[in-house]
Amino acid sequence: MKTLYIIRHAKSSWEFDLDDHKRPLNNRGLKDADLIGKELKNLINSIDKVISSDAERAKSTARIILNNLEVHDAIFSLESKLYDFNGHQVIEVIKNCDDKVHALMIFGHNHAFTSIANLYGSEMIDNLPTAGVIGIQFDIDSWKDIGVGKNILTLFPKDLR
């Protein structure tokens, strides 16, 4: 059994003239990430591996949520392939995950994350909003065998405000 948690980065700021990769979270993004992290602490038992896009807004979202979950830094890594908007590289990262990992949490970007949630989930969504979370469980032993799973969690910041 494998579980995948897909988390889109929280709302980012366009206030500064920065490269897209370096855009920080705005105030709403900081609050939403914290709100989601506090709620996930009550909903998720354990995480074996966390991988985030190396974009600033994704890294910051991950750090805030992981701080709430009290996840150890040793299971956290950055992956430039998650800075992907169509999803092909994201799928490659998931399929290449070590099979010792049963619960994988990834942080990244749309449109890739909405597409992946719809490709692998049992419930369709129109859009994975910023700081939104989709959890999908798969009846598999190897990440290479990932196919359609069962949605076990849908959590959006607007549901908590």
> Is it the case that residue 35 has pLDDT exceeding 90?
yes
pLDDT in tens, 51-85: 999 999 999 999 999 999 999 889 999 999 999 98
pTM as predicted: 0.96
Residue 17 has pLDDT above 80, yes or no: no
Q: What is the pLDDT of residue 14?
A: 80
2-159, CATH topology level? Rossmann fold (3.40.50)
Close Cβ partners of 139 (under 8 Å, ≥ 6 residues apart): 1, 149
Q: For the chain, which residues make up each domain, given as ranges?
A: 2-159
